[in-house]
Amino acid sequence: MTDLVVVGGSDAGISAALRARELDPGTEVTVVVADAYPNFSICGIPYFFTGEVRPWQSLAHRTAADLEAAGLNLRLDTLATRIDVAGRRLAVRAADGTETSLGYDELIVATGALPSHAGIAGVGALTPEDGVHVLHSMADTFALDRDLAARRPESAIIVGAGYVGLEMAEAFVARGMRVTQVQRGPEVLSTLDPQLGALVRAEAEAHGVDVVVNTTVTGVERAAAGLVVTGTHAGGSFRQAADLVLVVVGVRPNTGLLVRAGAAVGAGRAVVVDEWMRTGLPHVRAAGDGVVTRHRLLGTTYLPLGTTSHKQGRVAGENAIGGDRAFAGIVGTQVVKVFDLVAARTGLLDREARPAGYAPRTTTTTADDHKRYYPGARHIHVRVTGDTRDGRLLGAQLVGRRGSEVAKRIDIFATALYAGLSVERLSELDLSYTPPLGSPWDAVQLAAQAWSS
């Protein structure tokens, strides 16, 4: 019987623990979680703030009771502090300060990531009580919720216009707040090419968000006017006040436990793992936002996402009890809803493909989401990137209205990338068609044909 200890109770940790129990119900699985909220869907937090998902308990993928019924021993409010690799023991500290250690046969570390402060002065020193927030955990969620209820802020500055920032802009607008969204680059959602990012910005602006691009925030301070965000804007200076500041500028891997035990860090300063999720430390695997990711087009990269964390966790759990499963790797598929628009991407942009040694070319197509004669047809904007040397599909980006099946259409491209198809072969796929839902040549295929012609 294997004694498996898992550190971390979010996507990667719980996936690992459940997989191990599923494959071998005889495995003794203990999950050590720093807080009291195992298996919460942090991806759903923005929808708690829009008010669409209430109460907060609904965000649980599974309750603690569900997890215990599946055979997991939960050690909640317990911080893992040190790994004794040679002795196969994990030192832990309970909320009351009691220190103890757990023996293990196999250990999986899934301590995830922490919100980045991006070197912005004042963030960290100013707290949620001051009205300055980050958003990654349920504790962050409760702190923001308390602040919104207690002070009823009327204005917010959101630093960052990535997917979390955009989702939170929508949430604050839904609560009647005035929102300024500050972005360092020339366009929001820098994971897309600016041509498509501009459509997302227009959607946010149409809903009243004041989007300020080309602005690097360097500080947040308290002043008589409220909280003041300072920085540089297009060569000049930027200074704006608001009642509340939310900093959502990405994450940094939470690797202290593993690094102190001797694990190596690589891309994005995440812990290096191989495809079997081994860290190189004997009997210690790792998965999720704290580790590097195998990317099928790029090799090794760092791209922290919930989907990847679930898959890596499942692989780690299987291998910890004697399995031999290699993580197949990602292709970087992402999707976000911004008000009534959906933006998605998979694979590589032109500017990412070139330094990776490809010879990319990208074309833009606008197609209908279904036959125009049937009511409600909307445009989908598609950018397809392929390699000019061999026609291989390298990536795709889509922007369309909510309800236009943008997410499922990007998944067609993602599947093609996984299979290593050429752009041209997308036209051969037997995709479904009925006039209210599609066209004989789907938007995906029209975009592929435009690239190939």
- Contacts with ligand FAD by CB under 6 A lie at 7-13, 32-35, 42-43, 45-46, 79-80, 110-113, 135-136, 164, 254, 257, 288-289, 304-307, 309
- Beta-strand relationship, 341-347 and 393-401: antiparallel
Smaller CB distance to ligand FAD: residue 10 or 385? 10
Q: Quick check: helix, strand or coil at residue 159?
A: strand
Query: Which candidate, 5, 113, 83, 13, places its Cα nearest to that of 258?
Result: 83
Smaller CB distance to ligand FAD: residue 32 or 148? 32
How many CB atoms within 10 Å of residue 95? 12
Minimum CB distance to ligand FAD, residue 13 (Å): 5
Separation of alpha carbons 421 and 272, rounded Å: 29
Separation of alpha carbons 172 and 210, rounded Å: 12
Minimum CB distance to ligand FAD, residue 449 (Å): 30
| Secondary-structure percent of the chain, ordered helix, strand, coil, rounded to 5 | 30, 30, 40
Minimum CB distance to ligand FAD, residue 98 (Å): 15
Smaller CB distance to ligand FAD: residue 19 or 370? 19
Minimum CB distance to ligand FAD, residue 386 (Å): 25
The residue number whose beta carbon is nearest to ligand FAD equals 112
Separation of alpha carbons 49 and 52, rounded Å: 8
Smaller CB distance to ligand FAD: residue 51 or 420? 51
Smaller CB distance to ligand FAD: residue 45 or 169? 45
Smaller CB distance to ligand FAD: residue 212 or 271? 271
Q: Quick check: helix, strand or coil at residue 26?
A: coil
Minimum CB distance to ligand FAD, residue 9 (Å): 4
Query: Which candidate, 277, 280, 306, 310, places its Cα nearest to that of 292?
Result: 277
Query: Which candidate, 303, 306, 315, places its Cα nearest to that of 44?
Result: 306
- Beta-strand relationship, 132-133 and 72-75: unpaired
- How many Å is the Cα radius of gyration of the chain? 23
Smaller CB distance to ligand FAD: residue 164 or 380? 164
- Alpha-carbon distances of 33 from 75, 77, 413, rounded to whole Å: 6, 6, 37
Q: Which two tokens stand for residue 422?
A: 């050429």
Separation of alpha carbons 261 and 175, rounded Å: 45
Minimum CB distance to ligand FAD, residue 190 (Å): 16
Smaller CB distance to ligand FAD: residue 311 or 381? 311
Minimum CB distance to ligand FAD, residue 287 (Å): 7
Q: Which helix (H) or strand (E) holds 65?
A: helix 64-69
Minimum CB distance to ligand FAD, residue 310 (Å): 8
